[in-house]
Amino acid sequence: MQIKPASTVANIQPYFFAGLPKKFAELEARGIKVIRLDMGSPDLPPADFIIDRLVESARNPKKHGYSPAGGSKAFREAICTYYQRRFTVQLDPQSEVLSLIGSKEGIFNIHHTLLDPGDLILMPDPYYPAYLAGASLANANIYYMPLRKENGFLPDLDAIPADIARHAKMMWLNYPNNPTGGVATLDFFEKAVAFARENEIVIAHDAPYTDLTFDGFVAPSILQVEGAREVAVEFNSLSKTYNMAGWRIGMAVGNPEIIRLLATYKSQIDSSIFAPILDAGEVALTADQSWIFNRNRIYQERRDVIYQALVKAGFDVDLPKAAIYLWARLPEKFKDPIRFCADLLDETGVSLTPGVIYGPSGADYIRFSIVTPTDSILEAVDRLTRWVANK
């Protein structure tokens, strides 16, 4: 019997990073040590007190049943504590907060929560691939907002045609940005909220990098803008801020009706998060935060190492103020980023991400991740610069 997938699934490509392990195994078999500067998976662990809370909670025999839908009361209140401390934003833990099994599932599910087939979504380009996959599987129509270097990798809202703005139902924003490292100010968020209110557009703001900042930059939340909660929901995560990517714990906060609808949708799909992870998440959000500063200092050192190597090798690259990536345009002698990444990996074992997987505007770019041990980064950039010089 021939298995025929749904038309939506048939048109979706596998997630880029899912296909890499097979290639890595082939290289390792050839004796080539692979160094990954591709994926944004933190290499450093959470603080010890977070792990200790997980272990303590997991030893409680009452913590192994189903946890409350939407997250425990204590975890939702911890999210409120975090938003008050970090952004001076007050949230209602009952109506404006929802826990997620990592922010990615909420990001994907929001499309099916709010969009009908044919609805129009404003999509940044480049974008986090889950935005496009979610919109495509919801059979939504897409209008791309180019993120250009000359505009600080912010969308030009004034360039969106009036008829597109009137028909759009939802808009994605993501700052600090993946993959470009671009940042947004409160002034930009104020303009975006005014644009959304005028055109009755829901803003979905993806904000997992707000606490991964450098050189004194402090990233804002869109919910700091007056009136934002009328139109906006913000997705955040413990994956990057607290080095808990594999724990799968995040949040959606903001507009109460969007939170209610997303919670209803999720109630048919999942059964919340393992209670000890919620307990550890509570501690992560509310206890000592000083270790994050020290962690960011390590990331900043790595950022600087990669930046200096890329400049030396002839890449066009900015020094990002936030996030965990460098977004670099290829030296002029290279014309095909996909071929560049493939050849570099095959010949040196250094794995990078071609920018085109994030959209057409990434066609000339490569994304470099800084969440790899520093000694491996030093070896990787040495391999890279020597390889580029010999081409």
Domain boundary among 271, 286, 301: 286
Checking if the pLDDT of 8 tops 90, the result is no
Domain count, the chain: 2
Do both 30 and 177 map to the same domain? no
Do both 337 and 244 map to the same domain? no
Checking if the pLDDT of 376 tops 80, the result is yes
Dump pLDDT digits (tens) for 101-155: 999 999 999 999 999 999 999 999 999 999 999 999 999 999 999 999 999 999 9
Round the average pLDDT of the chain to a whole number and report it.
95
Do both 333 and 248 map to the same domain? no
Checking if the pLDDT of 324 tops 80, the result is yes
Residue 2 included in any domain? no
Rounded CA-CA distance 103/235 in Å is 6
Rounded CA-CA distance 153/340 in Å is 24
b/e string for 213-223 if b means 16 or more Cβ within 10 A? bbeeeebbbbb
Show the domain range for 130.
48-286
Dump pLDDT digits (tens) for 254-296: 999 999 999 999 999 998 999 999 999 999 999 999 999 999 9
What is the CB-side half-sphere exposure of residue 64 using CA atoms within 13 A? 6
Please give the span between the terminal C-alpha atoms of the chain, in angstroms, as a whole number: 50
Binning pLDDT at 50, 70 and 90, where does residue 1 land?
A: confident
Q: Residues of the chain with pLDDT > 70: what percent?
A: 97
Do both 274 and 380 map to the same domain? no
Domain boundary among 286, 303, 327: 286
pLDDT of the residue at 87:
98
Checking if the pLDDT of 24 tops 60, the result is yes
Rounded CA-CA distance 293/231 in Å is 32
Do both 39 and 59 map to the same domain? no
pLDDT of the residue at 17:
58
| Domain harbouring 242, CATH code | 3.40.640.10
| Domain harbouring 33, CATH code | 3.90.1150.10
For every residue of 28-85, DSSP letters joined together read HHTTPPPEE-SS----SPPPHHHHHHHHHHHT-GGGSSPPPTT--HHHHHHHHHHHHH
- What is the average per-residue pLDDT within 335-360? 93
Dump pLDDT digits (tens) for 183-207: 999 999 999 999 999 999 999 999 9
